[in-house]
């Protein structure tokens, strides 16, 4: 199988995201994790910080790389001759939006979207819930990569 892209905000990356990347990397020759640069929405971490953290956590996977993207995901795919997107589906609540996006991306450029069923260990995780819990001192260890724990607390303390 050729290349696939795993897009998202990853503010910050969670173990649920990492599970999807690893499974995609098992099936596709190369996986590009594409970090959305959204100028109108500031995150907890800058895009550069997110990319740095992602690069550290995917370092054990030789066929996963990390890049930033803005604009249309299908343009990012076309520029790299990538024809596949891989996304995780956590619950029915993800489905409506993901189906709509998948159909639009196919309509725009013939790019296919493949879904992996979220690992039940992490299917209740979202980046926003992680930030909310950590903000109030909740323990998120085991839910995000260990290298993030100190950085998450430091960013939230600002």
Does position 21 interact with ligand ADP (CB under 6 A)? The reply is no
Nearer to ligand ADP, 63 or 126 (CB): 126
Among the candidate windows 10-18, 38-46, 57-65, 67-75, which touches ligand ADP by CB under 6 A? Answer: 10-18
Round the CA-based radius of gyration of the chain to a whole number and report it.
15
- Interior CA angle at 129 toward 54 and 127, to 5°? 20
Helix, strand, coil share of the chain (percent; to 5) = 45, 20, 35
x/- letters, 42..81, toward ligand ADP (CB under 6 A): ----------------------------------------
Alpha helices in the chain (DSSP H): 15-27, 47-58, 73-79, 92-109, 127-135, 146-157
Q: Is 88 in the site for ligand ADP (CB under 6 A)?
A: yes
Cα separation, 31 vs 6, whole angstroms = 7
Q: 3, 4, 5, 9: which one contacts ligand ADP (CB under 6 A)?
A: 9
Q: Within 10 Å of residue 43's Cβ, how many Cβ atoms?
A: 19
Among 87, 134, 144, 148, binds ligand ADP (CB under 6 A): 87
Q: Which of 1, 128, 132, 135 binds ligand ADP (CB under 6 A)?
A: 128
CA distance 157 to 6: 30
For ligand ADP, the binding residues (CB under 6 A) are: 8-10, 14, 16-17, 20, 87-88, 90, 118, 122-123, 125-128
């Amino acid at each position: 199988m050729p290349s696939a892209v795993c897009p998202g905000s990853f503010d910050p990356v969670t173990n649920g995201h990492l599970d999807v990347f690893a499974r995609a990397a098992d099936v596709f020759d190369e996986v590009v994790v594409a970090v959305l640069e959204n100028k109108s929405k500031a995150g907890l971490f800058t895009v550069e910080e997110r990319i740095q953290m992602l690069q550290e956590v995917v370092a054990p996977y030789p066929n996963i790389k990390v890049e930033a993207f803005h604009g249309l995901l299908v343009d990012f795919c076309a520029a790299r001759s990538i024809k596949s997107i891989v996304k995780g589906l956590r619950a029915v609540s993800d489905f409506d939006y993901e189906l709509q996006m998948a159909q639009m991306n196919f309509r725009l450029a013939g790019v296919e979207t493949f879904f992996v069923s979220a690992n039940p260990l992490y299917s209740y995780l979202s980046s926003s819930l992680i930030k909310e819990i950590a903000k109030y001192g909740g323990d998120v260890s085991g839910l995000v990569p260990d290298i993030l724990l100190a950085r998450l607390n430091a960013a939230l303390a600002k």
